[in-house]
Amino acid sequence: MVLACSLSPAAAAPVPIDPSVLEAEQTMVEAIGRATPSTVAIFAGDSGGGSGVLLTRDGYAVTNFHVVQPAGVAMTCGLPDGHLYDAVLVGVDPTGDLALIKLLGRDEFPCAAVANSDGVEVGDACFTAGNPFLLGTDLQPSISVGIVSGVHRYQFPAGTILEYTDCLQVDAAINPGNSGGGLFDAEGRLIGINGRASFEKRGRVNVGVGYAISTNQVRHFMGVLRAGRICDHATLGATVATSADGRVVVSDILESSDAWRRGLRYDDEIVSLAGRAVRTGNAFKNVLGTLPAGWQVPVVIRSGGRRRELVVRLASVHSAADLKGLAAEPEPEGRRPDPTPRELPAAVRGLVEQRQGFANAHFNRVERDRVAASIAAARDAGPTGPWLLEGRLGTGEAFRIELTDHAATIDIPTGTSTLVTSDDFDRQPVPPGSGGLLPALVLWRRLVLEGPAALGHTIYWGTAPRDPTAFQVGTPSDMVDVLESSVSGVELHTFIDGSGRVVAVDLWTQPGTDPCEVRMAWAEGAPLGSLPTRIEARRGGDEFATFLIGPVPAEMGP
């Protein structure tokens, strides 16, 4: 039987489309148009490739560690402008599956607008942009649209070193080759870096469960990555478990940890970490996984029914040797590695420096020189010669500190202490009880007047929160540069703000002990290069002294 049909003129008429649908479609098209120029296609020759996203105008792009690991220090990248660019490895985070590369060949690159990933909610529209299966031979990224399926997900390492913490789960397609590319919100702002996905056992095809590293985690690690380092993640030095009544409590703790020295003990409840409430063991791991080792963060605990607020210095998850092994380029499967060194592209030569503990020490030198220039600019307006700091302690007594090239002296009510700068500082932790205040002040002055080169072995460490007590995950923080120095038997961390001022100094006379922590402050409107008007010295969470610098009021007497 043959059926025949015909369409009447009325049936053939176009069906009206709701204007709101067209408007939503146009909004998504515009958002994709804003996001795609920053999308990077990464080609690593025989080693495959993946995706990335540009974060800065000068060409820094972030991707996955597992994308760049087989490629080594040099790779080729394509942009939607239709051009190929040489790129060089900068820094890697083997545990967090992040890597930073720098594209070369342009003075200015398009870069993504970055959103606060803590503002993302389940059900939000999102899209991925990248190079799945390396299909983008015309360098135009593939786009997949979906929704956010979950937030603050924790993904166990599952037989690898890659630990996805506090990540975003999406149903937008993430396939092999999408790794390292951007996850964007409905406005075209970057909210994550695509990485892990749950695949079927055969074919490695997307099944609608993908995970992206949050942009807030990327923000936390950007300073350490730009330092050219092999980054490590943080540990509190303690493990947690869920008690019978549902509290997250300390189940084990290292007595060598800073958390132990601050007073954290077995069975103490972790109420919040870095400003975020901790209600499950995974929530605890989520916060730690977004933080670099070495940062200080606030921890709220409940011990013996009493609420306490601590500031804890986070330790490293891995040893230096372990990190080196994690970041090593994998050997080719089924054949011996080629002993012949790869010839670097001409554009990359001179931008690579191999040094133990670094992914690329060249960029550490670049960042150290940048900070040195900012310190020098601030120094031009500051005092030279001996420095004299006089005034009143916070308790009202007079003090006097004199710092010169050869010696330093401090007069406080408990006595007078002198330091000779030609002797090792670890043998002179004066004044008593301070942990080394005078050495810290001497090295502060030396850095300001002579620059980082005067502090012996000095590297650019990265960035850290200026005020650890106020740091909260998901809240923008004032970040400062950090230099790490080994000089005269001590370890020194100096914190420098964007104007070139040294705003804080931490000095260790012995490893594994509490440092002397010195914090500087200036009166509002104080000229750049002037000496601070307030210095606070602490050790082990206890105040040693607060120095209020300035003329002593006549009514206070001598």
Q: Are strands 182-185 and 164-170 parallel, antiparallel or unpaired?
A: unpaired
Please determine, for residue 205, whether its predicted confidence score (pLDDT) is greater than 70.
no
Measured CA distances, 210 to 168, 175, 204 (Å): 8, 9, 12
Please determine, for residue 23, whether its predicted confidence score (pLDDT) is greater than 90.
no
CA distance 265 to 358: 35
Nearest Cα neighbor of 544 from 523, 522, 521, 514 is 514
Please determine, for residue 46, whether its predicted confidence score (pLDDT) is greater than 80.
no
| pLDDT top residue among 556 and 312 | 312
Output the pLDDT for position 110.
Answer: 97
* pLDDT 10s digits, 150-181: 999 998 776 677 889 999 999 998 888 889 99
* pLDDT 10s digits, 361-406: 999 999 999 999 999 998 876 677 899 999 999 999 999 999 999 9
Compute the average pLDDT of residues 421-441. 94
* pLDDT 10s digits, 62-83: 999 999 998 889 999 999 999 9
User: Considering all CA atoms of the chain, what is the largest pairwise distance in Å, rounded to the nearest integer?
Assistant: 117
Q: Report the DSSP beta bridge partners of residue 193.
A: 182, 213
Output the pLDDT for position 3.
Answer: 52
Compute the average pLDDT of residues 251-278. 96
Q: Which residues are catalytic?
A: 66, 97, 179
CA distance 441 to 428: 13
SS3 of residue 153 by DSSP:
strand
Output the pLDDT for position 200.
Answer: 54
Residue 173 — φ and ψ, nearest 5°?
A: -60, 125
Q: Which amino acid is at 190?
A: L
Nearest Cα neighbor of 240 from 232, 227, 249, 231 is 249
DSSP 400-423: EEEE-SSEEEEEETTEEEEEETTS
451 within 8 A of 445, measured Cβ to Cβ:
no
Handedness of CA 433, 436, 442, 447 (dihedral sign): negative
User: Mean pLDDT lowest for which of 227-241, 370-384, 497-511, 516-530?
Assistant: 370-384
Q: Which amino acid is at 450?
A: E
Tell me the average pLDDT of the chain: 90
Q: Are strands 407-412 and 74-78 parallel, antiparallel or unpaired?
A: unpaired
441 within 8 A of 522, measured Cβ to Cβ:
no
Burial class (CB in 10 A: 0-12, 13-18, 19+), 7: exposed
CA distance 430 to 439: 8
Contacts of 334 (CB under 8 A, 6+ apart): none
| pTM score, whole prediction | 0.91
* pLDDT 10s digits, 522-543: 999 898 889 999 999 999 989 9
Output the pLDDT for position 121.
Answer: 97
Q: Which amino acid is at 119?
A: G
Beta strands in 421-555 (DSSP E): 457-465, 479-487, 490-496, 502-508, 516-521, 534-539, 542-549
SS3 of residue 272 by DSSP:
strand
Angle between helices 361-379 and 437-450 (to 10 degrees): 90
Residue listed under structure tokens 């030279």: 384
Structural domains of the chain, ranges and CATH numbers in brackets: 31-232+318-328 (2.40.10.120), 234-316 (2.30.42.10), 373-556 (2.50.20)
Helix (H) or strand (E) holding 94: none
Please determine, for residue 329, whether its predicted confidence score (pLDDT) is greater than 70.
no
Please determine, for residue 199, whether its predicted confidence score (pLDDT) is greater than 60.
no
